[in-house]
Amino acid sequence: MAQPDELEVLTRAFSGHGVDEKSLISILGASHPDTRKSFRKSNPHFFKEDERLFERWDDHRVKLLKHEFMRFKNAVVLWAMHPWERDARLLKEALLKGPDSYNIIIEVACTRLSEELLGARRAYHSLFEHSIEEDIACHISGSERKLLVALVSAYRYEGPQHKEDAAKSEAKLLVNAVRGGEGKTLIEDEEVIRILSTRSKLHLVAVYKHYKEISSSYLDEDLKSDLRLQEAVQCLCTPERYFCQILDVSLKNDAHKSMKKALTRVIVTRADVDIKEIKEEFVKLYGVPLSKKIEDTANGNYRDFLLTLVSKGE
């Protein structure tokens, strides 16, 4: 007969982010039929009792489990990829999945160095025989298209110089645009798009600071009704905070599968870049270390691999 702690371990092995393969092998693999029956009986969210009095898998749960088993493999594959290929494939997947994934296009366009973004665009040519600009223009319609094409086309200056007067002037321009401007929606405002898609990140951080001084609120806070602009500003001006917010949502037990996938994406793409700064910001925002949150939420080899990547910043 199954021991209560064994049933608890088995339930956890199948739950959350990833699957605890070691527990499945050691407990389920060597289990008596009665143990497996007890497991099925005690997990009605995994199994449904058939009218013929046997417990059958819930079909939806089987599909979800397939995703969980794949998490470790997907993380390893992404980690082994050349960063340019990885970003090109992330861009393509975001386009194919539609509007709910367009934040990934903004994320890649706005958080990579100029040479990295150029490399991703070259990799996209090689992999898909189109340019990312062409595919965005063909597949995305409406007000988002111009912004997204401009962001992925950017090749920003990355030196130490910026003009404080210009930053202050553009902060005033953004304040006026947010407050109403000429009646245009913000995402269609050519000056707003120009600033976000051409200015250096150092310049934009200065604009962000002056905006707060002028308006008494942060620019991204004032862009709640323009999600794509808000995401662009966060990725350009406060990337560590942006990534922490993505990680926090993705680490919730009831996170949607697309948000769980974001956990892999963020850890893998930032491990060699700014994971140390992200970890520091995560503690400030949520009062718990990122590694502890991963330990409590993820399972098995997937958890161990994520923790290995997160420790690279130490």
Find where tokens 């808000």 sit.
230
Cα 261 to the center of its chain, rounded Å: 7
Give this prediction's pTM: 0.90
pLDDT digits (tens, 9 = 90+) for 111-152: 999 999 999 999 999 999 999 999 999 999 888 999 999 999
Q: Which of 113, 114, 96 is nearest to 105 (CA)?
A: 96
The upper half-sphere exposure of residue 234, i.e. CA atoms within 13 Å in the direction of its Cβ, equals: 22
Q: Say if domain 157-237 classifies as CATH 1.10.220.10.
A: yes
CATH numeric code, 241-313: 1.10.220.10
Q: Which residues contact 126 (CB under 8 A, 6 or more apart)?
A: 88
Positions of CATH 1.10.220.10 in the chain: 82-155, 157-237, 241-313
pLDDT digits (tens, 9 = 90+) for 173-212: 999 999 885 556 899 999 999 999 999 999 999 999 999 9
pLDDT digits (tens, 9 = 90+) for 252-265: 988 888 899 999 99
Q: Using an 8 Å Cβ cutoff, are 313 and 283 in contact?
A: no
Query: What topology is assigned to 82-155 in CATH?
Result: Annexin V; domain 1 (1.10.220)
Of 104-108, 252-256, 279-283, least confident by mean pLDDT is: 252-256
First vs last C-alpha separation in the chain? 45
Banded pLDDT at 2 (limits 50, 70, 90)? very low
